């Protein structure tokens, strides 16, 4: 296991650091292909860790099946984004830096998913944060620069809360490793709860939890869609990993408070994200608010972690819904980038009839939207209804009911996208799907996996998680 981790560091870190120099020395862009090879090899290396558990490097890294599965999904997402970018960003003069940052950020995501020590958490969090800030603005147009400025400014506040929260928690647990804390003296419980709240705010910032979401609509809605596909589909997983690695061990000591906090944040996040998405006319911005609503669904599963009898189902639900989320968000934002490259405006009106002009990409986009909606038998139905919502059914059926209500609300805007793609008159333009359109391959892969996993491979994922 140590050799695999060392190999990942050399592979992603080494290639990530040298690709801009190689492009400069050769005079041709080799960085996209090196990044593609690196992410493919990283997926193979991560696969070697499937089913393995243990602590490494004096206890600073902990490998387990759930973390390995999340790392594998992140790698698949990074590979698909890199593949789509071969067409999307080839004319950008900043593309070598883009691939460098993409690989380094992916390495940071791994360390957060496997983290077991506060020093590693801070270092990995800083690596991913700085890389993501630069990635958002790397196209250097006005919208991207505005988005990256807001992202970085709010990110600084988030990182500060992370440091303060860790300081408070470590002062109580007396160790830098993240271990299960069953109870604390009555006089220290308030301090521990304050530390937990700070960490929830810090991790909730990356996840897009209300009220720490202010940056997300501007970043997801303003940056180039190919960049958003990576930020939304890969980088967002560090928040999931941080909740599981850092906060889950603390839950037994604050169980009742934890459930109430998660339930409250889940409710306001789901309702805000879905209601705000309902009034959006820009589809990219609509999907940004959809990501906020998805964060609310994850919080339902995090709330269920407070109860031992629902914990296993909640963890399985998190793993399944990460699959749903990464496939859908990578595919949808790559699809939007494709539509924009074909000359369509990313508003509802601008996408009128696009599904008729570009039938393959329109159909696959519809499959991904239906999965986010929770339509059976797609993977989104299983992850959301049969695992996440069901995980709280015994302890808080009202929370599961509110989740179902929000899924109903989301139909209102997801159905709008489908209606404009296929049931409105297409524009009089001569566009068609052509052989070099790599984005269509990405849409195909994400949509086919969404269907296959929903039709009978859910048990395979559950086996990988255990």
Rounded Cα gap, residues 191 and 339, in angstroms:
51
Rounded Cα gap, residues 64 and 117, in angstroms:
15
What band does 139 get if pLDDT is binned at 50, 70 and 90? confident
Helix axes 397-422, 359-373, angle to 10 degrees: 170
Please determine, for residue 433, whether its predicted confidence score (pLDDT) is greater than 80.
no
**Which domain, by its residues, includes 107?**
2-465
Task: Give the list of residues 6+ apart from residue 443 with CB closer than 8 angstroms, or none.
Answer: 331, 334, 335, 338, 360, 361, 364, 365, 368
pLDDT for 462 equals 84
Residues β-bridged to residue 56? 61
Rounded Cα gap, residues 382 and 398, in angstroms:
20
Q: For the chain, how many structural domains are there in total?
A: 1
Task: Output the six-digit token pair for 212.
Answer: 């720490």
> Strand (E) positions, 343-430?
none
Please determine, for residue 434, whether its predicted confidence score (pLDDT) is greater than 70.
yes
Give tens-digit pLDDT for 18-69: 888 887 777 667 888 999 999 999 999 999 999 899 999 988 999 999 999 9
What band does 157 get if pLDDT is binned at 50, 70 and 90? confident
Nearest to 293 by CA among 336, 325, 326: 325
pLDDT for 28 equals 66
What band does 338 get if pLDDT is binned at 50, 70 and 90? very high
Percentage of the chain lying above the pLDDT 90 cut: 61
Over the chain, what is the mean pLDDT?
90
pLDDT for 97 equals 85
**Can you give the C-alpha Rg of the chain in angstroms?**
21
Please determine, for residue 424, whether its predicted confidence score (pLDDT) is greater than 90.
no
Distances (CA, A) of 143 to 41, 139, 220, 223, 225: 34, 9, 11, 6, 12
pLDDT for 25 equals 77
Task: Give the list of residues 6+ apart from residue 33 with CB closer than 8 angstroms, or none.
Answer: 86
Rounded Cα gap, residues 116 and 456, in angstroms:
34
Give tens-digit pLDDT for 261-281: 999 999 999 999 999 999 999
What band does 466 get if pLDDT is binned at 50, 70 and 90? confident
DSSP state, 385? I
pLDDT for 126 equals 92
| Cβ pair 132, 235 in contact under 8 A | yes
pLDDT for 398 equals 95
Rounded Cα gap, residues 3 and 57, in angstroms:
11
Task: Give the list of residues 6+ apart from residue 143 with CB closer than 8 angstroms, or none.
Answer: 222, 223
- Range in 139-153, 161-175, 315-329 with the lowest mean pLDDT: 139-153
Rounded Cα gap, residues 161 and 205, in angstroms:
10
pLDDT for 464 equals 82
Give tens-digit pLDDT for 82-95: 999 988 887 777 77
DSSP states of 272-327: HHHHHHHT--BHHHHHHHHHHHHHHHHHHHHHHTTSHHHHHHHHHHHHHHHHHHHH
Task: Output the six-digit token pair for 329.
Answer: 């968000």
Which secondary structure element, helix H or strand E, spans residue 138, and what is its range? none
Please determine, for residue 343, whether its predicted confidence score (pLDDT) is greater than 70.
yes
pLDDT for 325 equals 94
Rounded Cα gap, residues 336 and 314, in angstroms:
32
Residue with tokens 């038998």: 377
Rounded Cα gap, residues 304 and 395, in angstroms:
8
Please determine, for residue 404, whether its predicted confidence score (pLDDT) is greater than 90.
yes
| Cβ pair 170, 192 in contact under 8 A | no
Give tens-digit pLDDT for 249-260: 999 988 889 999
Distances (CA, A) of 260 to 30, 50, 204, 302: 51, 34, 16, 11
Rounded Cα gap, residues 266 and 104, in angstroms:
31
Give tens-digit pLDDT for 116-129: 999 999 999 999 99
pLDDT for 27 equals 62
pLDDT for 441 equals 93
Please determine, for residue 147, whether its predicted confidence score (pLDDT) is greater than 80.
yes
Quick one: average pLDDT of 448-453? 94
Quick one: average pLDDT of 368-387? 91
Distances (CA, A) of 15 to 10, 99, 340, 460: 8, 9, 30, 33
Three-state DSSP state, 63: strand
Q: How many CB atoms lie within 10 A of CB 433?
A: 16
Q: How many CB atoms lie within 10 A of CB 177?
A: 18
Long-range contacts of 399-404 (CB under 8 A, 24+ apart): 399/263, 399/266, 399/267, 399/300, 399/303, 400/300, 402/267, 402/270, 403/266, 403/270, 403/296, 403/297, 403/300
Q: How many CB atoms lie within 10 A of CB 171?
A: 12
Residues β-bridged to residue 54? 63
The structure's pTM equals 0.94
Residue with tokens 């080839």: 90
Task: Give the list of residues 6+ apart from residue 319 with CB closer than 8 angstroms, or none.
Answer: 66, 69, 70, 461, 462, 464, 465
pLDDT for 121 equals 93
Q: How many CB atoms lie within 10 A of CB 10?
A: 10
pLDDT for 102 equals 93
């Amino acid at each position: 296991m140590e050799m695999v981790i060392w190999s990942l560091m050399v592979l992603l870190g080494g290639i990530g650091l040298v690709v801009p120099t190689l492009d400069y020395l050769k005079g041709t862009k080799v960085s996209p292909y090196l990044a593609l090879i690196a992410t493919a090899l990283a997926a193979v290396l991560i696969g070697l860790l499937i089913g393995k558990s243990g602590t490494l490097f004096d206890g600073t890294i902990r490998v387990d099946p759930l973390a390995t599965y999340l790392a594998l999904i992140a790698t698949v997402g990074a590979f698909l984004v890199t593949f789509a970018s071969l067409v999307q960003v080839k004319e950008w003069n900043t593309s070598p830096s883009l691939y460098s940052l993409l690989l380094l950020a992916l390495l940071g995501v791994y360390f957060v998913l496997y983290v077991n020590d506060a020093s590693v958490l801070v270092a990995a969090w800083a690596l991913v944060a700085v890389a993501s800030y630069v990635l958002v603005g790397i196209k250097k147009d006005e919208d991207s620069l505005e988005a990256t400025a807001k992202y970085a400014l709010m990110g600084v506040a988030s990182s500060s809360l992370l440091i303060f929260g860790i300081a408070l928690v470590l002062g109580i647990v007396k160790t830098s490793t993240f271990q299960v804390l069953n109870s604390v003296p009555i006089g220290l419980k308030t301090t521990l709860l304050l530390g937990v709240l700070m960490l929830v705010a810090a991790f909730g910032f990356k996840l897009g939890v209300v009220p720490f979401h202010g940056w997300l609509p501007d970043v997801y809605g303003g940056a180039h869609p190919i960049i958003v596909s990576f930020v939304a589909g890969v980088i967002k997983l560090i928040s999931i990993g941080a909740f599981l690695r850092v906060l889950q061990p603390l839950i037994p000591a604050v169980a009742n408070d934890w459930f109430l906090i998660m339930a409250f944040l889940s409710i306001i996040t789901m309702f805000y994200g879905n209601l705000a998405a309902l009034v959006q006319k820009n589809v990219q911005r609509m999907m940004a608010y959809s990501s906020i609503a998805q964060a609310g669904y994850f919080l339902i599963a995090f709330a269920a972690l407070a109860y031992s009898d629902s914990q296993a189902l909640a963890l399985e639900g998190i793993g399944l819904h990460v699959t749903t989320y990464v496939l859908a968000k990578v595919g949808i934002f790559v699809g939007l980038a494709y539509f924009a490259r074909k000359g369509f405006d990313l508003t509802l009106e601008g996408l009128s009839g696009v599904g008729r002009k570009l039938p393959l990409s329109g159909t696959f986009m519809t499959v991904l939207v239906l999965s986010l909606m929770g339509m059976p038998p797609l993977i989104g139905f299983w992850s959301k209804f049969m695992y996440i919502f069901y995980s709280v059914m015994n302890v808080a059926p009202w929370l599961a009911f509110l989740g179902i209500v929000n899924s109903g609300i989301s139909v209102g805007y997801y159905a709008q996208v489908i209606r404009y793609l296929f049931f409105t008159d297409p524009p009089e333009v001569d566009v068609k799907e052509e052989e070099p359109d790599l984005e269509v391959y990405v849409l195909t892969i994400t949509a086919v996996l969404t269907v296959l996993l929903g039709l009978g491979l859910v048990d395979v994922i559950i086996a990988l998680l255990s």
